[in-house]
Amino acid sequence: MKRVITVSREFGSGGRTIGREIAEKLGYAFYDKDLIERIAEESGFSQEYIEEHGEGSPVRNYFAYAFVGRDASGNSVGDYLWRAQMNIIEELAEKGNCVIVGRCADHILRKRTDCLHVFIHADMEHKKERIVNLYGETSVSPQKRIREKDKTRALNYKYYTDRTWGMADNYDISLDSGILGEEKCVELIVGLAKEL
């Protein structure tokens, strides 16, 4: 039995919906990236972390000084939020029985043996159709919205994990939700979570 499922996903692939359905079927808690971000921002922990590190870390990043919005340790607000989120994800996994969507959770929890790491992707046609149905048309083309969102995800992933986002090797199972359908993806993942 896998107690924690991490779901990484391309924008428009339906990965978040699949994650929510997995959580429902398994009776697990469900945390998506927005929820984790809110917990991190609201938590006293994130403040404490900022204060602790504000006093100066022995490790200094020379490149970081070239950028604005960093403290004496070279940490940006984004870095603090990342650290806070990382700690929250570790705590959630320790409590167990949950599905976590996004936030590099696959990397953060890679050393735990009670996790199943999932990646959901789909071809561009499926993703375009899905985001237009879900979020409507905007002045930016669906293809461009998808490319920009996923480029940000890939860069963020690279920056914090030093791994390449979307490589099959990062995950226990990767599924094309366009070819398989959302229902089949849910069924396969729930089955694996129970059996492994």
Which pair of tokens denotes residue 25? 């079927």
- Closest contact distance (angstroms) between CB of 21 and a copy of itself is 18
Chain positions 75 to 134 lying near a copy of itself, rule: CB under 8 A, are 119, 121
Instruction: Compose the 140-179 pattern: x for residues touching a copy of itself by CB under 8 A, - for all others.
Output: --------------------------xxxx-xxxxxx--x
Nearer to a copy of itself, 42 or 183 (CB): 183
The H-or-E segment that residue 119 falls in is: strand 115-121
16 forms part of the interface with a copy of itself (CB under 8 A): no
Beta bridge partners, 30, equal 99
Burial of 172 (0-12, 13-18, 19+ CB in 10 A): middle
- In three-state secondary structure terms, 73 is coil
Is 173 in contact with 189 (CB distance < 8 Å)? yes
Nearer to a copy of itself, 60 or 194 (CB): 194
- Closest contact distance (angstroms) between CB of 148 and a copy of itself is 17
> Is the backbone of residue 57 left (phi > 0), alpha (psi -120 to 50) or beta?
beta
Nearer to a copy of itself, 1 or 72 (CB): 1
Which residues here bind a copy of itself, judged by CB under 8 A?
A: 10, 119, 121, 166-169, 171-176, 179-180, 184, 188, 192, 195-196
